[in-house]
Amino acid sequence: MANLRLGDTAPDFTAQTTQGEIKFHEWLGDDWGILFSHPADYTPVCTTELGTVAKYKPEFDKRDVKTIALSVDGLESHKAWIKDINETQHTEVNFPIIADEDHKVSELYDMIHPNANDKQTVRSVFIIGPDKKIKLIIVYPASTGRNFDELLRVIDSLQLTAYYKVATPANWKFGEDCVVSPSIATKDIPDIFPKGFKEVKPYLRITPQPNLN
């Protein structure tokens, strides 16, 4: 399957990983998930990324987010590479890495872009909600490492806006003011957002983050 779009159901699959065989939807359960691909094992940028994700596990856990990586190399290669990641990044890889030598999952998620490289995956990121729907897709070139602080920020926004009638403005961070959804009439805002609001323009209404005391 290719051309996945926001709101599509994340394709299910069964795969071997460094933590055993998983059935993806079953593994996700009722949590959020991040599926992210890597061009190859034993590559420098990937080594730093996987080490960073391991260090950030408490932050992902706090948000009920499971992380899972993918590379088109095999299981034994993954397991040996993890030793290097742990050593060089001063951490312990604490999440599964999918072995995808047959490109089954890579093709399912359109992670191989032939004009960039016809064998290796690009740096794809899929954030998936508890409903198994795709909430975010980002694709980086192989030469550029991902910003996991930004992915945490996006997760905070996705989780907030999934349950409250707000959107988050440019450069928003957890704890900052939000934008009231355009679907809410100004006269109804006080009942929905008792913390108050500021009308900058009829279409731009600002309110404090609603899920904070």
- What are 63-106's pLDDT values in tens digits? 999 999 998 889 999 999 999 999 999 999 999 999 998 888 98
Q: Are 95 and 78 in contact (CB under 8 A)?
A: no
- What are 38-73's pLDDT values in tens digits? 888 899 999 999 999 999 999 999 999 999 999 888
Tokens representing 8 are 């599509």
Average pLDDT over residues 198-203: 95
Residue 10 has pLDDT above 80, yes or no: yes
φ, ψ dihedrals at 20, nearest 5°: 100, 180
Q: Are 206 and 180 in contact (CB under 8 A)?
A: yes
Question: DSSP string of 162-192?
Answer: HHSSEE--TT--TTS-EEEPTTS-GGGHHHH
Annotated active-site positions, please?
A: 46
| Better-scored residue on pLDDT, 41 or 189 | 189
* Cα 56 to Cα 45: distance, rounded to the nearest angstrom: 17
pTM of the complete model: 0.90
φ, ψ dihedrals at 204, nearest 5°: -125, 95
- Range 67-97 burial, b when 16+ CB lie within 10 A, else e: bbbbbbbebebbeebbeebbeebebebebbb
CATH code of 14-145, in short, is: 3.40.30.10
Tokens representing 49 are 């990324």
* pLDDT recorded at residue 119: 54
Helix (H, G, I), strand (E, B) or coil at 10: coil
Q: In the chain, where are the structural domains located?
A: 14-145, 164-207
CATH fold of 164-207, please? Antioxidant, Horf6; Chain A, domain 2 (3.30.1020)
